[in-house]
Chains A and B, each alone.
Chain A
């Protein structure tokens, strides 16, 4: 694996290896020397809390040097093209570049103009592969398996890179996916990715996991749904709509009382904070996979 641009760069063995490495790396205290002398560049052209902080911390926990850049305050503000930014930063000879960008195809362009391993930390509505991996990790941790699991993904699939990556990743590990949401927000043709679709919220009843997508307020401008109020009343995840033991996940940031009721988000079956914790271990495992291939994470951990 040279880059992680999309879940389609992974096969089932890759996923297993990364999840195992993440399990080995989880809960370790202090730093590991694995990536000492390696340079990780983190380029965020779009706002982020969870992803940027966890990538930075993951790299530091593995003893890599880290440069973190945000679009605001950089030469991007002065109109520099992405190509020129990458060519410039490539002169520091980074080993990995973690990139988030609002436009689809940006990570591919970064990979074209640098020699580094590129990790897509989210490109437009396209892909967010490390989110999908941390979601798999969280599900397996909570439910003990992935094969045969039924996951209902609820909400604005059309504009969601999280959903696209997760559908692919769940298909890879043998889980079943049902997409549930307003017909205007379920992309035409998405069944080809190996999932089924439904418009009635009752379709989540049989799911082991209800994965709630963020409803973006700006989508209202394009009239995809008549009102947020109507969305919340028909598709919002309330305590009445989930049963005990049915796990609930959300990639964050949460719009409480819009796509998810606060009582569900904070309830005993919520895995939302577990997802955040998984993010650190999984991103360490991904950097390890790309930059220290061959050295098993468990042994690396043992050395520490």
Chain B
């Protein structure tokens, strides 16, 4: 059964014109939600690409609907060019039972603007002690399993989860953090952290757990998905695992690809995230891994927080920033325009890469496929302001920044959802 849910309704018929990856300008005709024709057309500057898939979004529902709802979060995703997203289960209550998941699926069928999947927790209450009823959760529509926000601290429980994955067939997505090493840490351990006096969160806290989980995955011969990697040591471990034939996919966020811990000197709560921004050599290693495919996915880790929570001294504020509505533009501006990444690679890592990694339908521009398309304007500059956001929260690290590249239209599962 499908693991993506959204508002039922019409399928659209429309024509979109733009340049494809190869450079040729085409008119794509969508009839009743399906790509019916792809025909040459007069040259256009706009780019037509497979729509994006975000494997890592916090929709904050249930529990913190003041920060985000299924409706607002999926509207934000549509505006960002996404045709599918996966929501994290660290809500209140936690998505650790079929009843909570069932109510979310029902809500998504009512409110979700684009196809939305829900990850369920690996451990009950995200407490790391007992496995959730993963079989029943799978039957109820869980797209994948994660304890995101928390690591699975117990190696024994992690092993059981991998073993059980043979039954569910659903990916395990892991937040890798060794808590006795990160321990109250807020900022990458290094010169900036030493100078600011913030509690250190060393790269080793991530990479040690990445190594453990890759060892377990190798032993059990089960796949896993590593979330929001931040450290060059984690990349090195992942490369070694790939050489050994371990099936591991990974994601990286726009903020880890663009910022370093130097940004923390501002003490702006909107550069506080978990894992923290790291050193420039880490950022470069992440970019290289994204380029060569070691990391196959860009994930926003869209983490809305209320104004009150972020209007506090840096140390008191929660981790996390929003990202759905700025991800393409910031990566286009900072990586593609800067000559560091090809546009085709960026699109692949934002679309096909995450879809394959998480077992979701891959958006394709071909006759007969369900239409999942994004139309991009690469020439327009715009300034990120609170008023731009469909999200209920505006804790973006990009406020005030001018970016190049705009999402003009998004077609998700055959429907025009933006533009």
Contacts and interface: CB of A to CB of B under 8 A. Distances in A.
Interface of A: 81-83, 101, 103-106, 108-109, 123-127, 159-161, 164, 168, 187-193, 222
User: 5 tightest A-B contacts by CB?
Assistant: A105-B314, A125-B197, A192-B191, A187-B194, A190-B194
Contacts of B189: 188-189
Contact of B308 (A81, A108, A191): A81
26 contacts: A81-B308, A83-B311, A103-B316, A104-B267, A105-B313, A106-B313, A108-B313, A123-B313, A124-B197, A124-B315, A127-B197, A160-B197, A168-B195, A187-B194, A187-B200, A188-B189, A188-B194, A188-B200, A188-B202, A189-B190, A189-B191, A190-B194, A192-B194, A193-B191, A193-B194, A193-B195
A101 B313 contact: yes
A190 to B, nearest CB: 4
Given A81-B311, A82-B313, A83-B311, A105 B267 contact: yes
Contacts of A103: 312-316
B196 interface: yes
A104 B195 contact: no
B198 to A, nearest CB: 6
A104 B312 contact: no
Nearest to B261: A189
Interface of B: 183, 189-198, 200, 202, 267, 269, 308, 311-316
A164 B311 CA distance: 25
A82 B267 CA distance: 16
Nearest to A163: B197
A93 to B, nearest CB: 22
Nearest to B197: A125
Contacts of B183: 222
B193 A104 contact: no
A68 B313 CA distance: 21
A124 B202 CA distance: 20
A222 B185 CA distance: 13
Given A105-B269, A125-B198, A82 B312 contact: yes
A79 B7 CA distance: 41
A126 B200 contact: no
B276 to A, nearest CB: 14
A86 to B, nearest CB: 10
Nearest to A83: B311
Given A189-B189, A189-B190, A193-B194, 17 more contacts: A81-B308, A83-B312, A103-B314, A104-B313, A104-B314, A104-B315, A105-B316, A109-B311, A109-B312, A123-B313, A124-B197, A125-B197, A126-B196, A126-B198, A192-B194, A193-B195, A222-B183
B191 A190 contact: yes
A160 B197 CA distance: 8
A127 B189 CA distance: 18
A105 B314 CA distance: 5
Contact of A192 (B195, B200, B308, B312): B195
Nearest to B190: A189
Which of B190, B192, B314 gathers most chain A CB within 10 Å? B314
Contacts of A159: 197
A105 B191 contact: no
A164 B193 CA distance: 11
B305 to A, nearest CB: 14
Contacts of A82: 312-313
Contacts of B190: 188-189
A104 B196 contact: yes
Contacts of B196: 104, 126, 164
B193 A187 contact: yes
B197 A126 contact: yes
B183 to A, nearest CB: 8
Contacts of B195: 164, 168, 190, 192-193
B194 A109 contact: no
A67 to B, nearest CB: 21
A96 to B, nearest CB: 19
A189 B312 contact: no
Contacts of A123: 313
Given A103-B315, A189-B189, A164 B308 contact: no
